[in-house]
A and B are shown apart, each in its own frame.
Chain A
Amino acid sequence: MNKTKVTKDLENKTLIIERVFDAPVESVWSFYAIKEKFEAWWGPEGWETTTKAFDFSPGGKIHYGMTCVDENQTEWFGKQSWGLMEIDSIEENKNFVAHDFFCSPDGTIDQSMPAQKFVVEFHDENGRTRLVNRSILDSAEKIEMLVEMGMIEGFNSQMNKLEVLLQD
């Protein structure tokens, strides 16, 4: 089976998650856009997903809960975690932009946890689909901090060397 690849873009605080699926773009898209299909795959292995709200349209919200139903995942079994995805924009069968928040079962956003911005792209590759999920790791507080620090002129990055360091 195909492998999911994760790459880091430090400069942009972005994790890029990629996978190629042997299916046309429209099919892959439908697994985000249709409630029952989304619920069928969103939870990782051993986790079941239900949605309390599902509106996959610009400005719409998806309030989802994942429950661990796998007894072998001892520390997680029976645990639930809730998330709220807010859809910013949609270009059908091409991409969508969303924010993902941690929340309570009633949908109240947990402000103590960072929100993530997702840009999800669907690329046609001769009838197959490359699904690219750009996950931007940052919280509002930290953006402010960065603006403050941005006034300081930086030096050329040692990114490659640090990449090596990160791979240790």
Chain B
Amino acid sequence: MVEYNHIQNLDSIFHSLSDPTRRDILHRIAQGEHSVSELVAQYDVSFAAISKHLKVLQKASLIRKRKEGKKYMITLAPNTLKSADEYLEQYRQMWQSRHDKLAILLEKERHHE
């Protein structure tokens, strides 16, 4: 019963991905590790704004942050998107199983008419 297990994770992942800037940041770091200042330089918004986006992404376990000297380096957390899709597939299967029941009941009802 995926719904009860994973809905919270999906909720935070979906929240993270609903913002175009965050999707863009993810896309960039999917190509390779970036420092926070490299990321900030790519966008026409403040350091604070980017830092806030990174916090949201980190909270959803979509990125990882590590310190290198004075710099903070950001990488993609490889398994989160993958598990998001696994959750989705389990979610789909749950609905499929519900719908299969409904289809059978509708079929029965038709024969009784």
Contacts and interface: CB of A to CB of B under 8 A. Distances in A.
Interface of A: 1-6, 8, 10-13, 15, 17, 19, 21-23, 27-28, 31, 37, 40-45, 47, 66, 68, 76, 81, 102, 113-114, 116, 131, 133, 137-139, 142, 145-146, 149, 152-159, 161-162, 165-168
Interface string B95-110: 1111111110111011
Interface in B6-47: 7-8, 10-12, 14-15, 17-21, 23-24, 26-27, 30, 43-45
A6 B85 CA distance: 11
Given A22-B106, A113-B8, A165 B95 contact: no
Given A10-B23, A31-B105, A168 B82 contact: yes
A119 B88 CA distance: 18
A138 B19 CA distance: 13
What's the dominant secondary structure at chain B's contact region?
helix
A146 B15 contact: yes
A37 B19 contact: no
B84 A166 contact: yes
Nearest to B84: A166
Interface of B: 1, 4, 7-8, 10-12, 14-15, 17-21, 23-24, 26-27, 30, 43-45, 49, 52-53, 56, 81-82, 84-85, 88, 91-92, 94-103, 105-107, 109-110
Contacts of A15: 88, 91
Contacts of B85: 166-168
Contact of B49 (A22, A27, A138, A152): A152
A44 B50 CA distance: 42
B98 A12 contact: no
B101 A114 contact: no
A26 to B, nearest CB: 11
B23 A158 contact: yes
A27 B18 contact: no
Given A3-B96, A31-B102, A76-B1, A157 B20 contact: yes
Contacts of A66: 1
B46 to A, nearest CB: 8
A27 B106 contact: yes
